[in-house]
A and B are shown apart, each in its own frame.
Chain A
Amino acid sequence: MHNACKHTWRVSAYHDGELPPQARIDFEAHLRECAGCARELKRLRKISELLRGAPIPDLPAQVLAQTRECISVARDYSVFKMARILTAAAAAILVVCGGWLWDISGESYMPLQASGWEQAAVQLRVETSTGDFQQIAQWIVEDLSMENGND
């Protein structure tokens, strides 16, 4: 039968000794007059008795020994796991740096655009006539003038 008293919610806290001092005094006065709450309290005490009497086994010695052993294994595993993580991080950094270095080294081999007289000088043959040398000299002068800002 459900206790319809409006104070029934306090029975649980009273049973656990968790009511503040004045509230406990007030509730004890109420218990003397309320059969419903008194019956409720009796039931809670019986429930506690049943639960506290439940056959919970003690920790077996073997389980204790295994638990101590597990600590060492768990700690070794966590150190190993950390080593794996750090190694993977180092490998990732190496790959990224390697890729970056490969990328910038490729750019340094791109040839600069040579000026006209330089290209001609490279292609110059021994049999070239005096006219060609004059043309090359003119190019050199023009190129130097451009560098000095005299256009």
Chain B
Amino acid sequence: MHPTDAELMRDAGRGDEAACRELVDRHAPNLYRLAYSLVNNACDAEDVLQETFAGAFGQAGRFQERSAVKTWLSQILVRQAAKCHRSRKRHSMTHLDWASESTRWRPVGKPPGCAQTQSDTRVDVLAVLQTLPPAHREIVVLREMQGMSYEEIAAVLEVPCGTVESRLFRARLELKERLKDYLP
């Protein structure tokens, strides 16, 4: 019988390395995708992932099972990704980076009349995500790419469900504006 995540986290808090490795094997693939969605490059995603697990196992004794382990790990990862963004923003700003929030965003996409390929669309979407304010980017990624419910998102971001709904609504307004070339 396989131990539950909560049991593994308890063992991890007692220094059981096998329990830590099992948790990594279970959650790393999904957490990597979450990290990549938030930071849009493999190098930072790797760092964020490793910092997340290092932080989680360092605080394993403080995990109180008020939420699922997946939610708790996602919480830590979202904070690490935000830290990564702030650090990246301080160190470099190029036109390929998202650079800042909505005030300096430039529309992406080819001029009208120019054929848009499927691969162009995908690249544009990822780049557009990076131009959103951090709070909007996080909520869109958690909802659209992680498929989390409002309740789960509220637990990860530690905000009320009503805030999730209104923040997602405003994030989608921004996305609609930036992706208007691709929408009906």
| Chain A residues close to B by CB (< 8 Å) | 9, 12-13, 16, 18, 39, 42-44, 46-48, 50-60, 63-64, 66-68, 70-72, 74-75, 78
Contacts and interface: CB of A to CB of B under 8 A. Distances in A.
Interface in B12-26: 15, 17, 20-21, 24-25
Given A18-B149, A72-B17, A74-B57, A52 B144 contact: yes
Contacts of A68: 21, 24-25
Contact of B54 (A43, A55, A71): A71
- Which 9 residue pairs spanning A and B have beta carbons closest together? A59-B32, A74-B54, A51-B144, A12-B169, A59-B29, A70-B50, A50-B125, A71-B20, A43-B183
Which of the listed residues B37, B50, B150, B184 has the most CB atoms from chain A within 10 Å of its own CB?
A: B50
A146 B146 CA distance: 94
Q: For the complex, would chain B's binding face be called helix, strand, loop or mixed by DSSP majority?
A: helix
Contacts of B29: 58-59, 64
A71 B33 contact: no
Interface string B29-54: 10011001100001000100110011
A44 B182 CA distance: 11
Contacts of B176: 43, 47
A46 B122 contact: no
Nearest to B46: A63
Interface in B161-184: 165, 168-169, 172, 175-176, 179, 182-184
Interface residues of B, number: 41
A46 B182 contact: yes
A46 B53 contact: no
B82 interface: no
B144 A12 contact: no
Contacts of A78: 58
A64 B184 CA distance: 40
Given A51-B140, A63-B46, 13 more contacts: A16-B143, A44-B172, A47-B179, A51-B125, A51-B144, A54-B37, A68-B21, A71-B20, A71-B21, A71-B24, A71-B53, A72-B17, A74-B58
